[in-house]
A and B are shown apart, each in its own frame.
Chain A
Amino acid sequence: AQSVSQHNHHVILSEAASLELGCNYSYGGTVNLFWYVQYPGQHLQLLLKYFSGDPLVKGIKGFEAEFIKSKFSFNLRKPSVQWSDTAEYFCAVSGNEKLTFGTGTRLTIIP
Protein backbone atom coordinates (compact mmCIF):
# COMPACT_ATOMS: atom_id res chain seq x y z
CA ALA A 1 0.00 0.00 0.00
CA GLN A 2 1.15 3.51 -0.69
CA SER A 3 1.50 6.11 2.05
CA VAL A 4 2.88 9.60 2.53
CA SER A 5 4.20 11.22 5.70
CA GLN A 6 4.53 14.92 6.28
CA HIS A 7 6.13 15.50 9.65
CA ASN A 8 5.80 19.28 9.78
CA HIS A 9 2.20 20.03 10.70
CA HIS A 10 2.52 23.80 11.07
CA VAL A 11 5.48 25.92 10.03
CA ILE A 12 5.78 29.63 10.78
CA LEU A 13 8.38 31.70 8.96
CA SER A 14 9.18 35.33 8.40
CA GLU A 15 9.20 36.76 4.91
CA ALA A 16 12.45 36.12 3.01
CA ALA A 17 13.27 33.06 5.11
CA SER A 18 14.14 29.82 3.36
CA LEU A 19 11.65 26.99 3.37
CA GLU A 20 11.94 23.23 3.41
CA LEU A 21 8.95 20.98 3.99
CA GLY A 22 9.55 17.30 4.51
CA CYS A 23 7.80 14.47 2.69
CA ASN A 24 8.50 10.75 2.92
CA TYR A 25 6.64 8.14 0.94
CA SER A 26 6.14 4.43 0.84
CA TYR A 27 5.20 2.73 -2.42
CA GLY A 28 6.27 -0.51 -4.02
CA GLY A 29 5.93 0.47 -7.67
CA THR A 30 7.15 3.19 -9.96
CA VAL A 31 6.93 6.43 -8.04
CA ASN A 32 5.20 9.53 -9.30
CA LEU A 33 5.34 12.31 -6.72
CA PHE A 34 3.53 15.60 -6.38
CA TRP A 35 3.26 18.71 -4.28
CA TYR A 36 -0.08 20.48 -4.20
CA VAL A 37 -0.94 23.79 -2.56
CA GLN A 38 -4.27 24.92 -1.16
CA TYR A 39 -4.52 28.67 -0.60
CA PRO A 40 -7.18 29.81 1.87
CA GLY A 41 -10.60 29.40 0.27
CA GLN A 42 -9.19 28.12 -3.01
CA HIS A 43 -8.96 24.76 -4.74
CA LEU A 44 -5.99 22.44 -4.74
CA GLN A 45 -3.37 23.48 -7.27
CA LEU A 46 -0.40 21.54 -8.56
CA LEU A 47 2.94 23.08 -7.57
CA LEU A 48 5.22 20.52 -9.18
CA LYS A 49 5.55 16.84 -10.01
CA TYR A 50 8.23 14.21 -10.49
CA PHE A 51 7.85 11.27 -12.83
CA SER A 52 11.42 10.43 -13.86
CA GLY A 53 14.71 11.98 -14.93
CA ASP A 54 16.36 14.88 -13.12
CA PRO A 55 15.57 14.39 -9.43
CA LEU A 56 15.50 18.15 -8.87
CA VAL A 57 12.23 19.47 -10.24
CA LYS A 58 11.15 23.07 -10.49
CA GLY A 59 7.59 24.19 -10.16
CA ILE A 60 5.55 27.33 -10.16
CA LYS A 61 6.12 30.36 -7.94
CA GLY A 62 9.79 29.58 -7.32
CA PHE A 63 9.23 26.23 -5.60
CA GLU A 64 11.42 23.21 -6.21
CA ALA A 65 11.61 19.67 -4.84
CA GLU A 66 14.27 17.01 -4.75
CA PHE A 67 13.56 13.31 -5.14
CA ILE A 68 16.01 11.22 -3.10
CA LYS A 69 15.24 7.59 -3.81
CA SER A 70 17.54 6.20 -1.11
CA LYS A 71 15.72 8.22 1.53
CA PHE A 72 12.21 7.80 0.07
CA SER A 73 11.92 11.56 0.30
CA PHE A 74 10.56 14.38 -1.83
CA ASN A 75 11.13 17.57 0.13
CA LEU A 76 9.77 20.91 -1.03
CA ARG A 77 12.00 23.97 -0.95
CA LYS A 78 11.89 27.68 -1.66
CA PRO A 79 14.88 29.96 -1.06
CA SER A 80 12.89 33.03 -0.01
CA VAL A 81 9.24 32.88 1.00
CA GLN A 82 6.66 35.61 0.61
CA TRP A 83 3.56 36.44 2.61
CA SER A 84 1.48 35.16 -0.30
CA ASP A 85 2.93 31.65 0.23
CA THR A 86 0.72 31.26 3.30
CA ALA A 87 -1.26 28.11 2.50
CA GLU A 88 -1.62 24.39 3.15
CA TYR A 89 0.88 22.18 1.31
CA PHE A 90 0.24 18.54 0.48
CA CYS A 91 2.68 15.93 -0.74
CA ALA A 92 1.17 13.06 -2.73
CA VAL A 93 2.12 9.86 -4.52
CA SER A 94 0.14 8.34 -7.38
CA GLY A 95 -0.59 4.72 -8.06
CA ASN A 96 -3.53 2.50 -9.04
CA GLU A 97 -5.39 5.45 -10.53
CA LYS A 98 -5.46 7.42 -7.29
CA LEU A 99 -3.46 9.98 -5.40
CA THR A 100 -2.49 9.28 -1.80
CA PHE A 101 -1.93 12.49 0.11
CA GLY A 102 -0.08 13.29 3.27
CA THR A 103 -1.85 15.09 6.10
CA GLY A 104 -0.53 18.43 4.94
CA THR A 105 1.67 21.19 6.33
CA ARG A 106 0.16 24.54 7.18
CA LEU A 107 2.60 27.30 6.30
CA THR A 108 2.17 30.73 7.87
CA ILE A 109 4.37 33.57 6.65
CA ILE A 110 4.73 36.56 8.94
CA PRO A 111 5.22 39.86 7.10
Chain B
Amino acid sequence: ETGVTQSPTHLIKTRGQQVTLRCSSQSGHNTVSWYQQALGQGPQFIFQYYREEENGRGNFPPRFSGLQFPNYSSELNVNALELDDSALYLCASSPPGGGANVLTFGAGSRLTVL
Protein backbone atom coordinates (compact mmCIF):
# COMPACT_ATOMS: atom_id res chain seq x y z
CA GLU B 1 0.00 0.00 0.00
CA THR B 2 1.19 3.50 -0.73
CA GLY B 3 1.87 5.81 2.17
CA VAL B 4 1.22 9.51 2.52
CA THR B 5 2.74 11.55 -0.29
CA GLN B 6 3.30 15.29 -0.23
CA SER B 7 4.26 17.83 -2.87
CA PRO B 8 6.31 19.80 -3.45
CA THR B 9 9.18 18.59 -1.28
CA HIS B 10 10.89 21.95 -1.18
CA LEU B 11 9.86 25.44 -2.19
CA ILE B 12 10.97 29.00 -1.70
CA LYS B 13 8.61 31.97 -1.51
CA THR B 14 8.88 35.61 -0.57
CA ARG B 15 6.98 37.50 2.09
CA GLY B 16 3.42 38.34 1.15
CA GLN B 17 3.09 35.53 -1.38
CA GLN B 18 0.67 32.63 -1.18
CA VAL B 19 1.51 28.93 -1.18
CA THR B 20 -0.42 25.70 -1.73
CA LEU B 21 0.86 22.38 -0.42
CA ARG B 22 -0.66 19.07 -1.43
CA CYS B 23 -1.14 15.74 0.26
CA SER B 24 -2.39 12.35 -0.86
CA SER B 25 -3.58 10.22 2.02
CA GLN B 26 -2.71 6.59 2.52
CA SER B 27 -5.05 4.13 0.86
CA GLY B 28 -8.07 3.45 3.07
CA HIS B 29 -7.57 6.59 5.16
CA ASN B 30 -10.31 9.23 5.20
CA THR B 31 -8.97 11.83 7.63
CA VAL B 32 -6.10 14.23 6.98
CA SER B 33 -4.25 16.41 9.49
CA TRP B 34 -1.63 19.07 8.90
CA TYR B 35 1.23 19.94 11.21
CA GLN B 36 3.88 22.66 11.12
CA GLN B 37 7.38 21.77 12.30
CA ALA B 38 9.61 24.80 12.75
CA LEU B 39 13.35 24.26 12.96
CA GLY B 40 14.31 22.72 16.29
CA GLN B 41 10.70 22.29 17.38
CA GLY B 42 8.17 19.51 17.53
CA PRO B 43 5.30 19.42 15.06
CA GLN B 44 2.35 21.68 15.90
CA PHE B 45 -1.20 20.83 14.91
CA ILE B 46 -2.67 23.18 12.30
CA PHE B 47 -6.00 21.51 11.51
CA GLN B 48 -7.73 18.29 10.55
CA TYR B 49 -10.09 17.51 7.69
CA TYR B 50 -12.78 14.86 7.72
CA ARG B 51 -15.58 14.47 5.18
CA GLU B 52 -14.26 17.51 3.35
CA GLU B 53 -14.76 19.79 6.34
CA GLU B 54 -12.41 21.23 8.94
CA ASN B 55 -12.71 19.14 12.09
CA GLY B 56 -10.49 20.75 14.69
CA ARG B 57 -7.98 23.57 14.46
CA GLY B 58 -4.86 24.53 16.36
CA ASN B 59 -3.62 27.98 17.24
CA PHE B 60 -3.03 29.22 13.71
CA PRO B 61 -4.46 32.37 12.08
CA PRO B 62 -7.16 32.27 9.38
CA ARG B 63 -4.59 32.83 6.63
CA PHE B 64 -3.88 29.12 7.08
CA SER B 65 -6.69 27.30 5.32
CA GLY B 66 -7.27 23.92 3.80
CA LEU B 67 -9.37 21.72 1.61
CA GLN B 68 -10.15 18.06 1.45
CA PHE B 69 -11.34 16.45 -1.77
CA PRO B 70 -13.73 13.52 -2.34
CA ASN B 71 -10.74 11.20 -2.82
CA TYR B 72 -9.55 12.27 0.67
CA SER B 73 -6.52 14.15 -0.65
CA SER B 74 -5.94 17.57 0.86
CA GLU B 75 -4.40 20.97 0.34
CA LEU B 76 -2.93 23.43 2.79
CA ASN B 77 -3.02 27.06 1.71
CA VAL B 78 -1.14 29.85 3.39
CA ASN B 79 -1.79 33.46 2.38
CA ALA B 80 0.29 36.55 3.07
CA LEU B 81 3.39 34.54 3.91
CA GLU B 82 5.56 35.71 6.80
CA LEU B 83 9.17 34.85 7.56
CA ASP B 84 8.05 32.76 10.56
CA ASP B 85 6.05 30.52 8.23
CA SER B 86 9.34 28.93 7.18
CA ALA B 87 9.01 25.34 8.36
CA LEU B 88 8.48 21.73 7.43
CA TYR B 89 4.78 21.11 6.81
CA LEU B 90 3.69 17.60 7.57
CA CYS B 91 0.57 15.89 6.39
CA ALA B 92 -0.76 12.86 8.24
CA SER B 93 -3.67 10.60 7.42
CA SER B 94 -5.66 8.20 9.56
CA PRO B 95 -8.20 5.44 8.89
CA PRO B 96 -11.88 5.58 9.85
CA GLY B 97 -12.15 5.76 13.62
CA GLY B 98 -8.40 6.11 14.06
CA GLY B 99 -8.16 9.81 14.80
CA ALA B 100 -4.89 11.03 16.22
CA ASN B 101 -4.11 7.57 17.58
CA VAL B 102 -3.33 6.04 14.21
CA LEU B 103 -1.45 8.60 12.14
CA THR B 104 0.74 7.95 9.13
CA PHE B 105 2.96 10.90 8.30
CA GLY B 106 4.30 12.03 4.97
CA ALA B 107 7.86 13.20 4.43
CA GLY B 108 6.80 16.84 4.46
CA SER B 109 7.08 19.96 2.35
CA ARG B 110 9.87 22.30 3.39
CA LEU B 111 8.86 25.92 2.89
CA THR B 112 11.38 28.72 3.03
CA VAL B 113 10.06 32.29 3.13
CA LEU B 114 12.55 35.02 2.21
A interface list, Cβ under 8 A from B? 4, 6, 32, 42-46, 49, 51, 90, 92, 94-104
Contact = CB atoms under 8 A, between A and B. Distances in A.
Nearest to B106: A43
B108 interface: yes
Interface size class of B (residues with CB under 8 A): 20 to 34
A94 B103 CA distance: 11
B48 interface: yes
A1 to B, nearest CB: 10
Given A43-B106, A43-B108, A97-B55, A103 B101 contact: no
Interface of B: 3-4, 33, 35, 40-45, 48, 55-56, 58, 90, 99-101, 103, 105-108
A17 B56 CA distance: 42
Give the most central of B41, B42, B58, B101: most A CB within 10 Å. B42
Contacts of B99: 94, 97
Contacts of A99: 35, 43, 45, 100, 103
Contacts of B35: 99
Nearest to B94: A97
Given A32-B101, A44-B43, A51-B101, A98 B33 contact: yes
A103 B41 contact: yes
A97 B41 contact: no
B108 to A, nearest CB: 7
Given A43-B105, A94-B100, A101 B56 contact: no
A32 B99 CA distance: 12
A98 B48 contact: yes
Given A32-B101, A43-B105, A43-B108, A103 B58 contact: no
